[in-house]
Chains A and B, each alone.
Chain A
């Protein structure tokens, strides 16, 4: 058995194509993780366009504030360029600060001061304008407060207003600029940094552990999804040997020797496990370098997850190899299954936002659980979602049973 295992390992590793695919997958993963994680937080934001037609101090300040909003990635271009970006859906909306914006706000007119352009049927348009409006509220409130104050001052000075009361009192009136400076100074005080006490709670974990998710969570999920596809690709090429042997009639020749079919298959599975464990270790090392604050314990759990996923995909491809007579048809079927799994796993990320029962099918896709598991490891402080682990394990066990069942059918057919 051990001799068989070493023989298998040798067979896989001397194949230059296998080594090429493994190295290429590593290189591709490095390229993708680099382009995705470089500024992942910024790139996870919603891209919007801003056109400042007013070019006043107030409008410039508004643009500065909007740029600081973590949910947005702001493009400041000419109208023609912004329109092009909108039609290409590279930005979700255009905010045009109309000419006379500052004057309107100062005079207390707030209706229609900003034009928002968005594509027909864009469901996120109102959410985006809500976030944008948050930044408009400060200058609007400031102008309203000042207007109220100026009205009091004016009526006191010229009419002896009854509302203000005693005309003999010497009031210490602020000028408009003094009022604005005072409020601006006040806004810098930490007392006004109102913030919700937000906590993320993992309701699936038994102790309801908390984690702090940010915008980069979306892109780390994408990275996990692409990683899943690359691991599958490697597993597919390594497992191709089983079909090649069948195509060349080697399996039947080996059966003449008295080696039990189960040992043959086991040796292949173990060789696959050995190679994929090295691959998973390499990937964990790369991920460890890209994700900060990854403890040794988390790295170990991540390795176990990647390893388990690799094995599950290996079992899937061995099963696929059993129904394919030729390497070429196996590769075609295999690649299509990788793309289909990849596509469904990406859709599973949006499951919470989309009404579609068809997405329930993603629960039997190993890639979905890899994404869920890796996200949990990166973002959950004290607990790892067990559901993803068990789901992967169950899918793996089911595939082992299917493989065993198919082997029995094939053996029966051969004996006949």
Chain B
């Protein structure tokens, strides 16, 4: 086995092209993860989310409308995702059509007064549909504000009418209407006080960049595993196995050596990709991530070797392997993040190893080690052992078949 390992090491170091490709991929990964880690850090200071550019034409110019605009401009929660630009109707509309704003809203003349006497004037809103995702989010946000206006309006008018029906003096009704309108408007504006916000500390939400670093790493490991299966198949087709048998090396030794060599090599590369950005940025490296990465590598290598033991033709193996890993990747959250998968698809995703690997990696990244960690490690190890045993059995049987 040691001799076989030495042979593979020698082969690797002699193949300059392969080493060059490995280095290039490694450097690309390191630059990519480093860049993204820095981005995540910067995100702590400056939000990575781009603000919604909101154009507001206030034709009402009443104290109410001015009050509302000032409130929104000064509100921390609102200004964190919306950037308001005030201006004249024509100027802003022109700029909106030149793609400079995401939303254009026009408060009509006498809007506040008309609202109180139930005279609904249309409030013109234009949403830029160039980016459908953003447009849909803005639409949802504005629709939620419709309920604010309706709730305030119904209750202002309601009290006004009930007071009239009770037979109160008009002067008092007007006074109370003014008071309740102001009270309800400020209640609506102070909506943040309705809530006790409980941020689940030490349990950060996953950022898209962070998610894709792991998704891409898992995909890369799975396809490198596929390449290992291809290599072992190539050796089988070149009768390397038969030659090794003649010098007394058994199939199990050849397969085990291939698993050991490739797992160590891929783990070394994957570990470097994870470690270097942590060392550069000074972030604490999640040591618990290493066993997971190691077992992910072991699982994919074993799975690919298992597939290679089923097929006789390299082309068939490549098609099957490509299809299986492709499906694992797209269904298992490699493309659409698992948090955004629709329920039906999320259930399907749970059947793929990629889903659990991504999940556990993200948990560890956040510093959380729960039951899933132990379960994943045990599951990956047991599956890998079973796959290796079956592969050895299938490869040994094939040797007999070829000898016959």
> Any chain A CB within 8 A of the CB of B205?
yes
B133 at interface, CB cutoff 8 A: yes
**Which residues does chain A contribute within 8 Å of B318, judged by CB atoms?**
327-328, 331-332
Which residues of chain A come closer than 8 Å to B150, judged between CB atoms? 138, 187, 192-194
B130 touches A119 (CB 8 A): no
A200 touches B135 (CB 8 A): yes
Q: Are A171 and B205 in contact, CB atoms less than 8 angstroms apart? A: no
159-200 of chain B: CB within 8 A of chain A: 159, 161-163, 165-169, 172, 176, 179-180, 183-184, 187-188, 191-200
Q: Which of B252-260, B278-286, B328-336 contacts A (4 or more CB under 8 A)?
A: B328-336
A residues 272-322 near B (Cβ < 8 Å) are none
A165 at the interface (CB under 8 A from B): yes
> Which B102-122 residues have a C-beta within 8 angstroms of A?
102, 105, 115, 118, 120, 122
Do A130 and B191 touch (CB < 8 A)?
yes
Q: Indicate if the CB atoms of A114 and B196 lie closer than 8 Å.
A: yes
Residue B70 is within 8 A (CB to CB) of chain A in the complex: no
State which of A174, A221, A229 has its C-beta within 8 Å of the C-beta of B166: A174
Q: Is A114 within 8 A of B194, CB to CB?
A: yes
Taking a contact as CB atoms under 8 Å apart, the answer to whether B153 and A194 are in contact is yes
B323 cross-chain contacts in A, Cβ below 8 A: 21, 24
Known: A197-B125, A351-B131. A149 touches B144 (CB 8 A): no
**A254 within 8 A of partner (CB):** no
CA distance A17 to B313 in the complex (A): 12
- Measured CB to CB, the nearest residue on chain B to A110 is B194
CB distance from B74 to the nearest CB of A (A): 15
Contacts of A174 in B (CB 8 A): 162, 165-166
A327 to B321, CA, bound (A): 13
Q: In the complex, which residues of chain A have a beta carbon less than 8 angstroms from the beta carbon of B158?
A: 142, 145, 182-183, 186
Asked whether A17 lies within 8 Å of B151 as measured between CB atoms, the reply is no
List B residues 8-23 near A (Cβ within 8 Å).
Answer: none
Interface stretch, picked from A49-57, A85-93, A407-415, is A85-93
Alpha-carbon distance A44/B199, docked complex (angstroms): 25
Q: Are B176 and A17 in contact (CB under 8 A)?
A: no
In the assembled complex, which residues on chain B have CB atoms less than 8 Å from the CB atom of A406?
A: none
A202 within 8 A of B: yes
Q: How far is the CA of A372 from the CA of B313 in the complex (A)?
A: 40
Q: Within residues 139 to 153 of chain A, which ones have a CB less than 8 A from any CB in chain B?
A: 140-142, 144-145, 148-149, 152
Question: What mask results when residues 207 to 220 of chain B are scored 1 for a CB within 8 Å of chain A, else 0?
Answer: 11100100110010
Question: Which residues of A sit under 8 angstroms from B122, Cβ to Cβ?
Answer: 197
User: From residue 48 to 68 of chain B, which have CB atoms closer than 8 A to chain A?
Assistant: 48-50
- Are B123 and A201 in contact, with the CB atoms below 8 A? no
A203 touching B128 in the complex, CB below 8 Å, given contacts A127-B81, A171-B168, A229-B335: yes
- Min distance, Cβ A135 to any Cβ of chain B, angstroms: 6
Q: Count the A residues whose beta carbon is within 8 Å of the partner chain — how many?
A: 123
Known contacts: A118-B200, A171-B166, A343-B212. The answer to whether A211 contacts B129 by CB under 8 A is yes
Instruction: Name the residue of chain B whose CB is nearest to the CB of A202.
Output: B129
The verdict on B99 contacting chain A, using a C-beta distance below 8 Å, is yes
In the assembled complex, the Cα of A342 lies from the Cα of B219 at a distance in Å of 13
Tell me if A186 and B161 are in contact (CB < 8 A): yes
Q: Which of B39, B120, B144, B155 contacts A69 (CB 8 A)?
A: B144
Q: Which B residue sits closest to A338, measured CB to CB?
A: B326
In the complex, chain B residues whose CB is within 8 Å of the CB of A194: 115, 120, 146, 149-150, 153
Q: Determine whether the beta carbon of B145 is less than 8 Å from that of A354.
A: no
Q: Which residues of the other chain, A, contact B142 by a CB distance below 8 angstroms?
A: 196, 198
- A210–B129 Cα distance when bound, in Å, is 8
Contacting pair B194 A133 (CB below 8 A): yes
A121–B41 CA distance with the chains assembled, in angstroms: 12
- Tell whether, in the assembled complex, residue B187 and residue A140 are in contact, meaning their CB atoms are under 8 Å apart: yes
Docked-complex contact A145 and B159, CB < 8 angstroms? yes
- Selected from B125, B126, B165, B172, the residue in CB contact (under 8 A) with A163 is B172
| Given A187-B154, A196-B142, A202-B130, A141 and B187 contact (CB-CB distance below 8 Å) | yes
Stretch at the interface among B222-230, B241-249, B268-276: B222-230
> Across the two chains, which residue of chain B brings its CB closest to A126?
B77
Please determine whether A17 and B200 come into contact, CB atoms closer than 8 angstroms.
Answer: no
B342 touches A219 (CB 8 A): yes
**Considering residues B137, B205, B346, which has the most beta carbons from chain A within 10 angstroms of its beta carbon?**
B205
In the complex, chain A residues 65-115 whose Cβ is within 8 Å of any chain B Cβ:
69-71, 86-90, 110-115
Compute how far the CA of A112 lies from the CA of B133 in the bound complex, rounded to whole angstroms. Answer: 32
A338 to B325, CA, bound (A): 12
Interface class of chain B by DSSP = helix
Contact A198 B125 (CB under 8 A): yes
Beta-carbon contacts under 8 Å, A31-46 to B: 32, 35-36, 38, 40, 43-44
- Do residues A339 and B219 form an inter-chain contact, with CB atoms below 8 A? yes
B383 CB within 8 Å of chain A: no
Asked whether A233 lies within 8 Å of B168 as measured between CB atoms, the reply is no
Any chain B CB within 8 A of the CB of A242?
no
Closest Cβ–Cβ distance, residue A75 to chain B (whole Å): 10
Cα A173 to Cα B230 with chains together (Å): 88
Chain B residues with Cβ below 8 Å from A130 are 77, 141, 144, 191
- Contact of A197 with B123 in the complex, beta carbons under 8 Å: yes
B148 touches A (CB below 8 Å): yes
Given contacts A203-B97, A213-B132, contact A137 B148 (CB under 8 A): yes
Q: How far is the CA of A137 from the CA of B53 in the complex (A)?
A: 27
Give Cα distance in the complex from A28 to B142, angstroms: 37
- How would residues 343 to 354 of chain B score, 1 for a CB under 8 Å from any chain A CB and 0 otherwise? 111101000000
> Which residue on A lies nearest to B195, using beta carbons?
A116
Mask, A316-357, CB within 8 Å of B = 1, is 000000000001100110011011001100110111111110
Q: Which of A24, A35, A244, A338 is most buried by chain B, counting CB atoms within 10 A of its CB?
A: A35
In contact, B183 and A120 (Cβ under 8 angstroms): no
The docked-state distance in angstroms from the alpha carbon of A124 to that of B81 is 9
The yes or no answer to B206 lying at the interface (CB within 8 A) is yes
A327 and B155: CB pair below 8 A? no
Contacts of A225 on B, CB cut-off 8 Å? 335
| Chain A residues whose CB sits within 8 angstroms of the CB of B315 once the complex forms | 17, 244, 327-328
Q: Which of B154, B176, B323 has the most CB of A within 10 A?
A: B154
In the complex, whether A389 has a CB less than 8 A from a CB of chain B is no
**B397 at the A/B interface (Cβ < 8 Å)?**
no
- Give Cα distance in the complex from A20 to B157, angstroms: 68
Closest CB in chain A relative to B67 CB, distance in Å:
17
**Given A173-B166, A191-B120, A193-B150, 6 other A-B contacts at CB below 8 A?**
A70-B140, A119-B203, A123-B81, A135-B147, A201-B96, A343-B334
Could you give 28 example pairs across A and B, Cβ below 8 Å? A70-B143, A112-B195, A120-B204, A120-B205, A126-B80, A131-B144, A133-B195, A149-B162, A163-B172, A166-B169, A171-B168, A172-B167, A174-B162, A179-B162, A194-B146, A196-B125, A196-B143, A197-B122, A199-B125, A200-B127, A201-B128, A217-B135, A328-B314, A332-B322, A335-B223, A339-B219, A339-B335, A356-B209
Task: State the B residues within 8 Å of A (CB).
Answer: 35, 39, 46-50, 77, 80-81, 96-99, 102, 105, 115, 118, 120, 122-137, 139-159, 161-163, 165-169, 172, 176, 179-180, 183-184, 187-188, 191-209, 212, 215-216, 219, 223, 226-227, 230, 314-316, 318-319, 322-323, 325-327, 329-330, 334-336, 338-339, 342-346, 348, 359, 368
